[in-house]
Structure 1
């Protein structure tokens, strides 16, 4: 590997290097302080809506101690090549082929969001090529609510409902109930919303393929064995802290830390807190026993985190109606109501359509929802948050009640 030694943030927007492996094209950029650097490189694998430019600060920080490689696999980042036939496992295998072709020493991947699944699979399937592994926003997608919301996003895109899709996706990535604590600027939320509303047909197809890979993924048959650090935003509802902790518990050499006041984008929202952990981890040093802005979980805590991150209480006015778009209205009682979901009681049909539902109350605009499961306790539902006005009204109502402590408390 020949590294560039003239790194500047402006270069990340430039033309990447191209490596062809059979019919597949891999885009990458490689930087170091030394052109012929034999140390283990850090490999950056971003999320669905991230490009090389997203990592400008990370590259700058890492270069003092490590060579850094940024990689876009087919249909990821700035790589526009579509690859509908490739599953997550096949893409992870492409990372190994990339390492072999360029004769790289064992890598140190940093995988974020969608990239975390690829990085984890690469480490598990090709341990000889992976020295250390750092994950944030781990996307295993075994949680039923997350899967339903992802399926709904694909259905909305197929129907051309870009506005509704964008609203739902934004609420998933940036927890509206914790926006003040996380410190996400309104201008950033609006910019991300516009980006989602303006996806091109090619970008929609890439999103569809990447989402199908996550939905089709059967789960990890084996977990990474190398030293692994898992970082979870304490307010991340999209990939929740307990899911990160369970993943760490399944790895033989993993630690998990909760980043205080962070959401799904912890690496960018709390840079200093994350860097205080990943910098010593990547150099092979012992992690600090106490670190400002984070809490390291003891092994005994990994399987004990609360799976309910938001308050679900009976609202003051419990009467409501469950209405379907194609006809039919049923009176229900709201046994539990939260921003992300509810539990309804009522004499409901045994078989319910999967889509097209609204929860109608006297105090709120109609709330689009998706049924999850129906049992003795009632009908559990998740809100799709595809209507901005309804979501804002619900958030205002929920926020009047005291929010519980984060899962790390």
Structure 2
């Protein structure tokens, strides 16, 4: 594995009554591209990408976010939408004195990154969206509602272990496609890792995850009007059933000139399953190199539909 040669700085942030933070990783050599802001999923924080950050920081400066309501950041009002989170990213860029950046939004982070590029295209050099869907589908909605019901249990009457394990396995079956797990690189191992993580989650952390997931429900995740003038790439694993290839393609179609890629033998957790390939795809796009006809990607025109 490539080793990281980067200087790290933790930057505390505040916007109104919201407190949050970011990690800035600066390579010790010139990168040749704008810094990459990585906005992760609802179950992730700014320390959740160690293997990927080691690969990426050999090519670019990296900014990892704990936005309000995630990780170690302060709480986010239930009424606050993705626009508030996009404003939080913009405020962080101002604090860091970064005029233009590349932005990667993964899963829950994708609607945030999209809004930033749509409302401030002058600040986004390149946009990457991983695991994007215009609207949460019925199967994932059912899993999210199961989690909301589970964390509604008070601390004095916690949910029993069988109920928690059933929920954890349902979440894992969405993130690591249960129907095609043996076709996914490291699929069983990643599934076990995620289930252990979910079973160890504290009640307070589970409440925060639930609040993030509830923000995804019953709404169109991408505002009308699309994006023009920002080079963009939308991608996911070919077996993704949390945000299917067709749904990712639908998001890509709202962005003028957007590239689209499906990583072979991977699903929604492609950054864990095919870490080196994920990093290579991102790095290629950041340095304006071709991202079509790659040996680790499936031709999107011939990729079979994956059942949701």
Shorter-chain TM band: 0.7 to 0.9
2:134/2:250 contact within 8 Å kept: no
Counterpart CA distance in 1 for 2:71 and 2:100 is 23
**Structure 1 pair 61/158, CA: closer, same or farther in 2 (3 Å)?**
same
When normalised by structure 1's length, the TM-score is 0.65
Please, which of 138, 163, 173 is the counterpart of residue 165 of structure 2? 163
Aligned mate of 2:212, from 195, 205, 210: 210
1:333-352 aligned at under 5 Å gives the runs: none
Instruction: Report 1:336-375 matches (<5 A).
Output: none
Alpha-carbon separation, structure 2, partners of 1:175 and 1:37: 36
- Aligned residue among 270, 273, 297 for 1:266: 270
| Residue of 170, 174, 177 corresponding to 1:175 | 177
Deviation at 1:145, TM superposition (A): 3.3
What is the alpha-carbon distance in structure 2 between the residues aligned to residue 61 and residue 86 of structure 1? 34
- 1:99-178 aligned at under 5 Å gives the runs 99-159=93-153, 160=159, 161-178=163-180
Contact 1:46/1:77 (8 A) holds in 2: no
Counterpart Cα distance in 2 of 1:235 and 1:197 = 25
Q: Structure 1 residues 258 and 39, CA, compared in 2 at 3 Å: closer, same or farther?
A: closer
Aligned to 1:309: 306
8 Å contact from structure 2 (residues 177, 241) kept in 1: yes
1:44 counterpart SS class: strand
What stretches of structure 1 of length at least 5 have no aligned partner?
Answer: 311-339, 341-409
Output the CA distance in 2 between the equivalents of 1:62 and 1:264: 19
The answer on whether the counterparts of 2:56 and 2:279 sit within 8 Å (CA) in structure 1 is no
Distance in 1 between the 2:123 and 2:284 partners?
21
Tell me how far apart the structure 2 counterparts of residues 288 and 33 of structure 1 sit (CA, whole Å): 24
Structure with higher Rg: it is: 1
Q: Assess, with a 3 A threshold, how the Cα gap between structure 1 residues 21 and 106 changes in structure 2: closer, same or farther.
A: same
SS at match of 1:60: helix
Q: Does the Cα contact within 8 Å between 1:88 and 1:217 map onto a contact in 2? A: no
SS in 1 for 2:243: coil
Unmatched tracts of structure 2, length 5 or more: 154-158
- Tell me how far 1:138 sits from its aligned partner: 1.1
- In structure 2, the partner of 1:41 is 35
SS for the counterpart of 1:176 is: coil
Q: 2:202 aligns with which of 200, 206, 211?
A: 200
The answer to whether 1:238 aligns with 2:237 is no
Normalising by structure 2, report the TM-score: 0.85
Instruction: Give distance in 1, aligned partners of 2:32 and 2:95.
Output: 15
Rounded to whole Å, the distance in 1 between the matches of 2:240 and 2:117 is: 24
Which residue is equivalent to 1:93? 87
